[in-house]
Every structure is written in C-alpha cells, then in structure tokens.
Amino acid sequence: MATETTPIPVEETEVETTSPWNVVVHNDPVNLMSYVTMVFRRVFGYSTERAQKHMLEVHEQGRSVLWTGEREKAEHYVQQLHAHLLLATLERAGE
Amino acid sequence: MEFFVSGKSHIGFRHIHPLIADLLRALPATTDPDALSDAAEARLFPEPTNSESLQDLRDDWKAFVEPGLHELFRSASDIVSADLKGMEESGDTFTLTIPMNHADAWLNLLNQARLVLAADLGFNEKILTSPEPPDLGTDVGMAVFRINLYAFMQQCLIEQLE
C-alpha cells in the first residue's frame, strides 16, 4: 500500500526567526572616510583592509552589508553604529 | 591652529584664533537636543530599518534604544563643554587641552555638529567638496567653514587614536 506524505507547512514566524539579517551601512556626505573606517574596525573588529573595503563600497555604491546573522546581534550592531552616528539599518538577507 | 600631543595623557590645539575659539564654544549649543530641527533630529536618530513591515522594530527602537543614544550624545556634550571652559588665552590666541580619555567624546560631538549643520542646510557632497573657499559672510559659507574646521579636528583625533 502506497503511503501518501503530506508536506509539513513551515510557519512564517519560524522563517522569520531563522532567516539571517543584514546590517547595512548607507552613504552620507558628511562622515569622514577615516572615521567610517575606524568605526568599522571598532564595532566589528575588522582589519584595516577589510574595514576600508566596506568603507569604499559605502562611498562608491551607496551601501555595504557589514554583517549577516541573527537578528538580536544585528540589532546590537546597528545600535553601535548609530551611537557612532553612521546611517545603518537592519534588513532581512535577500530583501 | 596647530594640533599637539602632550605625553600620553593629553592632546590639544594651540594658536587658536579668537574666531575659531568662538566656533568651538558654539559646539554644545549647535547640538543642543532641545533645539534640533526636524532634519537634524532625523539625521542624529535615524530609523533602524527601511523595511515597511518592521514597524514593531521602529517602535521598540524609539522606546528603548533612542533614550540611550540621547544620553550618550548629551554625555559627550557635557565632557566637551567642560574642556572648553578650560581653554586658555595666551596672547592673541587660545590653547585647548584635551585629556586623551575625552577624545571619543570630542569625536562624537564634532560629528554631531557637522551632521546637524549639514542637515539644517541640506548640504550634499557637491557643496561639501567644493574647492571654492566658503564666503564667511553667508550662513551657508560659515556652515561649510565650520564643517571643514570640525573635520580637521576630527582627523587629528582619529590619527592619534589609530
């Protein structure tokens, strides 16, 4: 006898809690490049080279994804970036 | 104006022209949270997301995160204000000495002031990078001058901190 299998529906809330979140920094004309690089090093612990790469991406492309991971930690990073007066937002990865 | 380092514990600026000294004394008033325009308020306290579906995050941010940012920015202003009160007149110029452990507060307040000035006058990259010397007889020219002055001070501090 053949057995029918019913797919288990994935609840939306589960998707929300497990899908990763991006920390995005947006360009602004005021913050100094050296300042932005310093903040990326401080907040994320990035090397100077990696911090400069993200800084240039923000400057040239208008935004850069600095970090991807769980929401709670992403919110913490955005808070740290706002404390340093950078324009930073949180978004679902893939949005 | 000249940047100086005094041992490991202090940094500062000397040969400060009286006009520049006045512009430094204006820092706390420029960033006074009770006097911010809507544009400046929006820039200093940006929303945590651009996503329309995350209104709950915006609400939580306003309730729980922004008060902490207000406190942080006010604390930076208090520290800078105290340092500015110690600015010493020497002949025709002034000397400002900054304890090294106040450098982050200075960086923060200088940045606040630059962002507020730019937000109030709607400055874009073109205005801020113009090679033309600013006309100090206009509000716009004076704001550009102040933004550049504060940027110079920030750069000195960053190089020392890094």
Average pLDDT over residues B129-138: 83
Q: How confident is the model at residue A5 (pLDDT cuts 50, 70, 90)?
A: low
Q: How confident is the model at residue B8 (pLDDT cuts 50, 70, 90)?
A: confident
Q: Does residue B57 carry a pLDDT above 80?
A: yes
Block residue for tokens 């949270």 = B33
- Radius of gyration for chain A, computed over Cα atoms and rounded to the nearest angstrom: 18
Walk across the sheet containing A88-92 and list its strands: A63-69, A21-26, A88-92
Distance CA B128, CA B161 (A): 25
Residues A6-62 pLDDT 10s: 555 554 444 455 789 999 999 998 999 999 999 999 999 999 999 999 999 999 999
Q: Which residue of A has its CA nearest to B124?
A: A29
A75 to chain B: which residues are within 8 Å by CB? Answer: 48, 57
- How would DSSP label each residue in B22-50? HHHHTHHHHT-GGG--HHHHHHHS--S--
Residues of chain B above pLDDT 70, percent: 100
Contact A88, A16 (CB under 8 A): no
pLDDT at B131: 80
Distance CA B26, CA B114 (A): 12
Contact A79, A25 (CB under 8 A): no
Distance CA B10, CA B23 (A): 22
Q: Does residue B15 carry a pLDDT above 70?
A: yes
SS3 assignment, position B135: coil
Q: In A, what residues contact B, Cβ < 8 A?
A: 28-32, 34-35, 38, 75, 78-79, 82-85, 87-92, 95
B42 Cβ under 8 Å from any chain A Cβ: no
pLDDT at A6: 57
B128 to chain A: which residues are within 8 Å by CB? Answer: 29-30
pLDDT at A9: 53
Q: How confident is the model at residue A4 (pLDDT cuts 50, 70, 90)?
A: low
Hey, what are A85's tokens?
């007066």
Query: Which secondary-structure segment (H or E) carries A74?
Result: helix A71-83
Q: Which residue of B has its CA nearest to A92?
A: B51
Average pLDDT over residues B10-37: 96
Contact A44, A60 (CB under 8 A): no
Q: Does residue B33 carry a pLDDT above 50?
A: yes
pLDDT at A14: 45
Which among B50, B68, B155 has the least Cβ separation from residue A89?
Answer: B50
